[in-house]
Protein backbone atom coordinates (compact mmCIF):
# COMPACT_ATOMS: atom_id res chain seq x y z
CA UNK A 1 0.00 0.00 0.00
CA UNK A 2 1.19 3.49 -0.82
CA UNK A 3 1.34 6.25 1.80
CA UNK A 4 -0.12 9.61 0.79
CA UNK A 5 0.47 12.81 2.75
CA UNK A 6 -2.50 15.18 2.73
CA UNK A 7 -3.82 18.46 4.04
CA UNK A 8 -7.42 19.61 3.87
CA UNK A 9 -7.87 23.39 3.72
CA UNK A 10 -10.85 25.68 3.88
CA UNK A 11 -10.59 29.13 2.36
CA UNK A 12 -9.02 30.37 5.61
CA UNK A 13 -7.38 27.53 7.54
CA UNK A 14 -5.83 24.08 7.41
CA UNK A 15 -8.53 21.87 8.85
CA UNK A 16 -6.63 18.61 9.03
CA UNK A 17 -3.35 17.08 7.85
CA UNK A 18 -1.90 13.61 8.01
CA UNK A 19 -1.18 10.40 6.16
CA UNK A 20 -3.56 7.99 4.47
CA UNK A 21 -2.74 4.61 2.93
CA UNK A 22 -4.34 3.04 -0.10
CA UNK A 23 -3.72 0.49 -2.82
CA UNK A 24 -4.36 3.24 -5.37
CA UNK A 25 -4.67 7.02 -5.52
CA UNK A 26 -8.44 6.71 -6.07
CA UNK A 27 -8.79 4.50 -3.01
CA UNK A 28 -6.90 7.06 -0.90
CA UNK A 29 -9.19 9.86 -2.14
CA UNK A 30 -12.29 7.82 -1.35
CA UNK A 31 -11.01 7.00 2.14
CA UNK A 32 -10.40 10.66 2.88
CA UNK A 33 -13.85 11.60 1.61
CA UNK A 34 -15.39 9.17 4.09
CA UNK A 35 -13.13 9.92 7.07
CA UNK A 36 -12.93 13.73 6.96
CA UNK A 37 -15.62 16.34 7.37
CA UNK A 38 -15.54 18.00 3.95
CA UNK A 39 -17.56 20.95 2.68
CA UNK A 40 -18.04 22.22 -0.84
CA UNK A 41 -15.11 24.50 -1.72
CA UNK A 42 -12.60 22.77 0.57
CA UNK A 43 -9.23 22.03 -1.01
CA UNK A 44 -7.17 18.88 -0.64
CA UNK A 45 -3.43 18.63 -1.23
CA UNK A 46 -2.33 15.01 -1.54
CA UNK A 47 0.83 13.34 -2.75
CA UNK A 48 3.64 10.89 -2.22
CA UNK A 49 7.18 11.61 -1.10
CA UNK A 50 9.43 12.89 -3.87
CA UNK A 51 6.68 14.42 -6.01
CA UNK A 52 4.75 17.68 -5.79
CA UNK A 53 1.26 17.22 -4.31
CA UNK A 54 -1.88 17.26 -6.42
CA UNK A 55 -4.47 19.90 -5.55
CA UNK A 56 -8.19 19.08 -5.61
CA UNK A 57 -11.32 21.02 -4.74
CA UNK A 58 -14.57 19.56 -3.38
CA UNK A 59 -17.23 20.51 -5.93
CA UNK A 60 -20.11 18.40 -4.68
CA UNK A 61 -21.33 16.19 -1.86
CA UNK A 62 -23.59 13.58 -3.44
CA UNK A 63 -25.26 11.06 -1.16
CA UNK A 64 -22.36 11.11 1.29
CA UNK A 65 -19.73 10.82 -1.46
CA UNK A 66 -17.28 13.65 -2.03
CA UNK A 67 -16.71 14.70 -5.63
CA UNK A 68 -13.20 16.10 -6.09
CA UNK A 69 -12.01 17.97 -9.16
CA UNK A 70 -8.44 19.06 -9.93
CA UNK A 71 -7.94 22.67 -8.81
CA UNK A 72 -5.87 25.40 -10.43
CA UNK A 73 -5.85 23.84 -13.87
CA UNK A 74 -4.71 26.22 -16.54
CA UNK A 75 -6.97 26.59 -19.56
CA UNK A 76 -5.66 25.15 -22.80
What are the CA-CA distances from residue 9 to residues 24, 26, 42 (Å)? Answer: 22, 19, 6
Predicted local confidence at residue 74, as pLDDT:
56
Full pLDDT tens readout for the chain, 76 residues: 889 999 999 877 878 999 999 999 989 988 888 888 888 899 999 999 899 999 999 988 877 788 889 987 655 5
Is residue 44, in this structure, part of any structural domain at all? yes
Rounded to whole angstroms, how far apart are CA atoms 16 and 6? 8
Is residue 22, in this structure, part of any structural domain at all? yes
Is residue 76, in this structure, part of any structural domain at all? no
What global pTM score does this model have?
Answer: 0.81
Question: 34 lies in which domain range?
Answer: 2-70
Is residue 45, in this structure, part of any structural domain at all? yes
- Give the angle 11-72-53 at the CA atoms, nearest 5°: 85
Contact between 58 and 39 under an 8 Å Cβ cutoff? The reply is: yes
Q: Could you give the number of structural domains in the chain?
A: 1
Is residue 14, in this structure, part of any structural domain at all? yes
Amino acid sequence: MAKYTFSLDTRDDVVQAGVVQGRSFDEALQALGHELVVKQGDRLKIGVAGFPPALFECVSLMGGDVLWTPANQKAA
